[in-house]
Amino acid sequence: MKNEQIDVPIITVDGPSGVGKGTLSQALAQHFGWTLLDSGAIYRVLALSILNKGLENAPVKQLVETAKALNVEFKSHESSIEVYLDGVNVTKAVRQESTGIAASKIATIAEVRDALLQRQRNFAIKPGLVADGRDMGTVVFPNASVKLFIDASTQARADRRIYQLKQAGAPCNPEEVLQDIIERDKRDRNRAVAPLIAAVDALIIDTTHLTITEVYETALKFIMNKFSLGK
């Protein structure tokens, strides 16, 4: 993967699932009036496309071709982001546990990550970008202006996911949710390509016992100090 210098201010927000990085990223993007990249959604859309086409066991070459031809679009609203695949709203489908698990597996394939790398970098447009993911600050935007790494205990993340599922009226087995998170973490942190780690120059925020407001204020203070101004 080739590192590229991109002349646009970028804030990367990395971390595992269930830590609140999506909520934080959207709040920061709205604060600055910048573009938002949900890189996890791109992998989820690809996973959904692969599942819909029955390509789970297809050769890597075919998965790469599917990634390159992926027709994905994000439509941002004041409090949410809608995801479209081939013009169809798949926002709910990409948030399903089965899609997330499939996306985590696909993300371990180096050739697939390469195929999606430039697509993610294309989101870096003026006036700026907030990039939410797992390797935004280490691989996709290594020269980002500000890097954040959001984390939380495994149990806290499982509890949050269980709450989300119950709120949505979706079936939920607490033990399975916890096990899925443990297995996903293992894949993400131990994959050979772009493992989930904090960039050396990232601020690490543990959200286990913090409110959304506290996380946002901590992140914003760090960002303002990095930029040395209050824009």
In single-letter form, the type of residue at position 89 comes to: N
Q: Whole-angstrom distance between the N-terminal and C-terminal Cα of the chain?
A: 33
Annotated binding-site residues read 15-23
User: Which of 118, 124, 102, 88 has the alpha carbon at shortest distance from 40?
Assistant: 102
Q: Are 129 and 10 in contact (CB under 8 A)?
A: yes
CA–CA dist 194, 213 (Å, integer): 30
Annotated binding-site residues for ATP read 15-23
User: Which of 34, 25, 26 has the alpha carbon at shortest distance from 231?
Assistant: 34
C-alpha pair distances (Å), 189 with each of 14, 17, 40, 108: 12, 12, 15, 10
